[in-house]
A = this chain, B = another copy of it.
Amino acid sequence: MAPLPAGFLYGQWSLVYNALSFGIAAMGSATIFFWLQLPNVAKGYRTALVITGLVTAIATYHYVRIFNSWVDAFSVVQSNGAGGDYVVSLTGAPFNDAYRYVDWLLTVPLLLIELILVMKLPKAETVSKSVQLGLASAIMVALGYPGEIQSDLGVRWFWWCCSMVPFLFVVGSLLVGLSDATSKQPESAVDLVVGARYLTMFAWLTYPFVYIIKSVGMEGTAATTYEQVGYSVADVVAKAVFGVLIWAIAAEKSHLEETGKLVGK
Chain A residues proximal to chain B, CB less than 8 Å = 3-6, 10, 14, 17-18, 21-22, 24-26, 28-29, 32-33, 35-38, 40, 43, 46-47, 50-51, 53-54, 57-58, 61-62, 65, 76-78, 81-86, 89-90, 92-94, 96, 98-99, 102-103, 105-106
A89 to B76, CA, bound (A): 17
Q: Does A18 contact B96, Cβ atoms closer than 8 Å?
A: yes
Q: Does A77 contact B93, Cβ atoms closer than 8 Å?
A: yes
Q: Does B92 contact A62, Cβ atoms closer than 8 Å?
A: no
- Which B residues lie within 8 Å of A90 (CB)? 78, 81-83
Tallying the copies of this chain within the complex gives: 2
Distance in angstroms from A34 CB to nearest chain B CB is 10
Q: Does B54 contact A76, Cβ atoms closer than 8 Å?
A: no
A6 to B103, CA, bound (A): 30
A106 to B38, CA, bound (A): 22
Secondary structure at the A interface, as helix, strand, loop or mixed, is: helix
A65 to B18, CA, bound (A): 11
A10 to B78, CA, bound (A): 21
Q: Does B29 contact A57, Cβ atoms closer than 8 Å?
A: yes
Distance in angstroms from A237 CB to nearest chain B CB is 14
- Which B residues lie within 8 Å of A40 (CB)? 43, 46-47
Q: A36-B50, A54-B29 are in contact. Are A96 and B24 (CB under 8 A)?
A: no
Q: Does A94 contact B32, Cβ atoms closer than 8 Å?
A: no
For A98, the closest partner residue in chain B by CB is: B18
- Which B residues lie within 8 Å of A29 (CB)? 54, 57-58, 106
Q: Does A102 contact B18, Cβ atoms closer than 8 Å?
A: yes
Residue among A17, A47, A61, A82 with max Cβ neighbours from chain B (10 Å): A82
Q: A54-B32, A54-B33 are in contact. Are A76 and B47 (CB under 8 A)?
A: no
A-B pairs, 8 with minimum CB distance: A6-B82, A77-B92, A78-B92, A82-B90, A36-B50, A18-B98, A22-B102, A29-B54
